[in-house]
Amino acid sequence: MTAAGLREPKAVKALLIAAAVAYVLIMLVLPLGTVLIEALKEGWAAWWTSIGDPDARASIELTLLVAAIAVPLNTIFGVAAAWAISKFDFPGKAVLVAFIELPFSVSPVVSGLVFVLIFGAQGWVGPWLADRDIHIIFALPGLVLATLFVTFPFVARQLIPLMTAQGRADEEAALTLGASGWQTFWHVTLPNIRFALLYGVLLCNARAMGEFGAVSVVSGHIRGKTNTMPLQVEALYNDYSFVAAFAVASLLCLLAIVTLALKSALEWRHRDQLAAVH
Amino acid sequence: MPGVKRRRNASPLPGLGLTLGTTILWLSLIVLIPLAAVFLKSVSDGPQTFWSAAMSPRAIAAYRLSFGAAALAAAANCVFGLLIAWVLVRYRFVGKRLLSALIDLPFALPTAVAGIALTALYADTGLLGRIFSKAGLPIAYTPSGVVVALAFIGLPFVVRTVEPVLAELSSEPEEAALTLGATRLQTFLRVILPAVAPALATGFALAFARGAGEYGSVIFIAGNMPFRSEIAPLLIITHLEEYNYAGAAAIACVMLLISFTVLLALNAIQHWRQRRSA
């Protein structure tokens, strides 16, 4: 037990807890609640009609499709990068890690802009692509590229510290016992990192499905065609179709709540296997 | 570390070529080449054009708003983030896990959803906006709205950076301060605050960098009036819609340079933290 002098008076403690809870309620919970209340303002039937609208449906399908392409690609990349960085020594490693984390410090709008500058109508290869009737900007490939950029570091950043701390003794033992490289990866490395991998994929997916700024630049905002769910929310909101906008937004809230619940569950049960540091 | 030699010992593990090759290829294709495109495009019409686009009065006003609001919001988050981290680390109370899980909501909630929710909440007819506009301090569609949105986005950066440092703080210096007759408040200000200062600085820099480039949560609540409530990422989009690629790239360039400077400062802070803890 700590000495009484090391603790705050009961009243101070209560005040601090109350202030923290109040701040979180007003700043975070209230906006979340607002979405759900606004979405159901005209009842469940109106909510259901908004979700069932063909353009809304198309935006849901597009969001799922973009995430289904971008998340696995960045997961494979993340595992490969973490393997190279954590299991080997080579010069320039710190620079490589810094480059991998670069997209976190780039504005989402700039993340979309870079692809317009390359593939857009007046971009470097834009005219060449236009001659061949290949569409990247204002089409699915552009949305995928922008999403890949913004979700680039998620999986790698989760795995690198963990795998570095785990070292390579387990893998060396497996190889000594005659396992092949792939066998070692599947049966030794993967089980060691599975929860951290899941955690990284979870965050990567939430960002991929919810990304707005970057995809907004490359999408062209064609309803029913190139609007992802967050873009559909914006389009409906700008039309003053508030109930419909909040209805689509409420689905994204659900995604956020599920993500947070899974994330918390992983943190409580497998904290020791998520990161070896602290 | 026992037996550390200057010479690096080679890893017996396979896959360096494959994984490092994949990493560098993917990194170049998705991140580095596209980012290089911004710098090249911004000077493609000569330095004169670059300078007049990057430093136009409208652009300067937009930088001032984006970076100024990001700094204010990050400062507010340092105060409330420290409070929340303190409460989460030091006290036990009902609902603590839920509070902790909620902190990450801004990471999981798509920014466009946060944007429309905050606008509904802080508009003159909204639950909170009503109070503020009666007090003569309208928030929605003013620069204050930008600060509110960035305060929402930045909170988890500060809490999650300060929390582990606060948790690992040894109780000995606090005990010593008590023995020497310090009050609890003096101990906090002279002993605890200096110890978490580097973590707070890191959290500030992370929240600031994220806020300066933020788009989705801001554009709904900002009002978007040139020279008054127009953020820099929005100005990039405006230029793009006018097919002024070089102008958009010039502003993106300035924003990237500022974020990279913040990133370098962040590395310096982390260096400082490691030196202090060593």
Residue A63 located in a structural domain: yes
Within a domain: A47: no
A48 domain-assigned: no
Structure confidence at residue B9 (pLDDT) = 57
A247 touches chain B (CB under 8 A): no
Same domain, A154 and A75: yes
User: In this complex, do A3 and B209 lie within 8 Å of one another by their Cβ atoms?
Assistant: no
Shared-domain flag, residues A117 and A7: no
Dihedral sign computed on CA atoms, order B144, B149, B152, B154: negative
pLDDT tens digits for range A181-196 = 999 999 999 999 999 9
Cβ–Cβ below 8 Å for A256 and B105 = yes
Give me chain B's average pLDDT, please.
90
A18: contact with B, CB 8 A cutoff: no
Measured CA to CA, the distance from residue B147 to residue A219 in angstroms comes to 28
Q: Residue B2 has what pLDDT?
A: 46
pLDDT of residue B266 exceeding 50, the answer is: yes
- Distance, CA of A148 to chain centre: 10
pLDDT tens, residue by residue, A136-176: 999 999 999 999 999 999 999 999 999 999 999 999 999 99
For residues A153 and A75, the answer to whether their CB atoms sit within 8 Å is no
Give the angle B7-B12-B16 at the CA atoms, nearest 5°: 90
The verdict on residue A250 lying in a domain is yes
CATH number of A75's domain:
1.10.3720.10
B147: its two tokens: 């600060």
Mutation target for A interface from B8, B11, B23: give the one with most A CBs within 10 A.
B23
Residues near A11 by beta carbon (within 8 Å), at least 6 away in sequence? none
Task: Assess whether A15 and A140 both reside in one domain.
Answer: no
In chain A, the residue whose alpha carbon lies closest to the alpha carbon of B205 is A105
Residue B231: pLDDT band with limits 50, 70, 90:
very high
For residue B213, give the nearest of A107, A124, A148 by CB distance: A107
- Give the start-end residues of each E strand in chain B: none
A217: nearest CB among B34, B240, B260 = B240
Helix (H, G, I), strand (E, B) or coil at B128: coil
Mean pLDDT over each residue of chain A, to the nearest integer: 92
Q: What's the whole-number mean pLDDT along residues B107-112?
A: 95
Structural domain boundaries in chain B: 46-277
Q: Which helix (H) or strand (E) holds A125?
A: none
Contact B102 A24 (CB under 8 A): yes
Spell out the long-range contacts of A61-64 with Cβ–Cβ below 8 A and sequence spacing 24 or more. A62/A140, A62/A143, A62/A226, A62/A227, A62/A228, A62/A229, A63/A209, A63/A228, A63/A229, A63/A230, A64/A209
Q: Is residue A150 part of a domain?
A: yes
Flag if A6 and B8 touch (Cβ within 8 Å). Answer: no
Where do runs of H (alpha helix) occur along B55-142? 57-90, 96-103, 105-108, 111-122, 129-134
A87 neighbourhood in chain B, CB within 8 Å: 11, 13, 15-16
CB spacing of A110 vs B22 below 8 angstroms: no
| Residues ≥6 apart with Cβ < 8 Å to A111 | A103, A146, A149, A150, A213, A214, A217
Helix (H, G, I), strand (E, B) or coil at B156: helix
Residues of B in contact with A234 (CB under 8 A): 112, 220
Averaged pLDDT, B218-228: 92
Q: Do A114 and A18 belong together in one domain?
A: no
Distance CA A41, CA B15 (A): 56
Q: What is the pLDDT of residue A146?
A: 97
A23/B80 Cβ within 8 A? yes
Q: Are B229 and B223 a contacting pair, CB within 8 Å?
A: yes
Mind listing the pLDDT tens digit for each residue in B5-18? 444 557 788 989 99
Which residues have CB under 8 Å from B24's CB, separation 6+? A96
**Are residue A31 and residue A67 in the same domain, yes or no?**
no
Mind telling me how many Å the CA of B178 is from chain A's nearest CA? 7
Q: Which of B83, B91, B109, B217 to mutate to test the interface with A (most CBs of A within 10 A)?
A: B109
**Residue A44 within a domain:** no
Using CB atoms, which residue from A3, A16, A233 is nearest to B112?
A233
A46: in domain: no
A4 and A73 share one domain: no
Chain A residues with CB inside 8 Å of B216's CB?
Answer: 108, 212-213, 216, 230
Cross-chain CB nearest to B113 (options A84, A96, A253): A253
Residues A27 and A125 in one domain: no
Domain count along chain A: 2
Tell me B11's DSSP state.
P
CATH topology of domain B46-277: MetI-like fold (1.10.3720)
Token pair listed for B236:
């990039």
**Whether A108 and A140 share a structural domain:** yes
User: Measured between beta carbons, which residues in chain A are less than 8 angstroms from residue B263?
Assistant: 98, 102, 105
pLDDT at A246 exceeding the cut of 90:
yes
- Put simply, the answer to whether B13 touches A181 (Cβ < 8 Å) is yes
A31 with A79, same domain: the answer is no
Tell me the pLDDT band of A272, cut-offs 50, 70 and 90: confident
Domain range enclosing A173: 53-274
Measured between CA atoms, how close is B177 to chain A, in angstroms? Answer: 9
d(CA A50, CA A57) in angstroms, rounded, equals 9
Burial of B135 (0-12, 13-18, 19+ CB in 10 A): exposed
CB contact under 8 A, B112 and A26: no
CB B161 within 8 A of CB B103: no
- Chain B residues within an 8 Å CB radius of A205: none
The predicted-structure confidence for A18-56, as pLDDT tens digits, reads as follows 999 999 999 999 999 999 999 999 999 999 999 999 999
Residue A272, token pair as written in the block: 């020791």
Residues A73, A33 share a domain:
no
Per-residue pLDDT tens over the stretch B24-78: 999 999 999 999 988 888 888 888 889 998 999 999 999 999 999 999 999 999 9
Q: Do A32 and B164 touch (CB under 8 A)?
A: no
What is the spatial distance between Cα A12 and Cα A5, in angstroms, rounded to a whole number? 13
* Cα–Cα distance list, B134 to B116, B123, B125, B138 (Å): 22, 12, 11, 8
Q: What band does B4 get if pLDDT is binned at 50, 70 and 90? A: very low
Three-state DSSP class for A200? helix
Which 8-state DSSP code applies to residue B93?
A: -
Q: What does the pLDDT look like over B128-168, one tens digit per residue?
A: 999 999 999 999 999 999 999 999 999 999 999 999 999 99
| pLDDT, tens only, A102-112 | 998 899 999 99
Q: DSSP secondary-structure letter at A223?
A: T
How large is the average pLDDT for residues B82-99?
A: 95
Residues A93 and A140 in one domain: yes
What number of CA atoms fall less than 13 Å from residue A42's CA on the CB side? 13
Asked if A31 reaches chain B (Cβ–Cβ under 8 Å), the answer is yes
| Residue A167 within a domain | yes
* A6/B contact by beta carbon, under 8 A: yes
Q: How far is B233 from chain A (nearest CA, A)?
A: 6
Kindly indicate the confidence band of residue A4, based on its pLDDT and cuts at 50, 70 and 90. Answer: low
pLDDT band at residue A277, thresholds of 50, 70 and 90?
Answer: very low
Which position has the token pair 């799922």? A64
Q: Are residues A20 and A126 in the same domain?
A: no
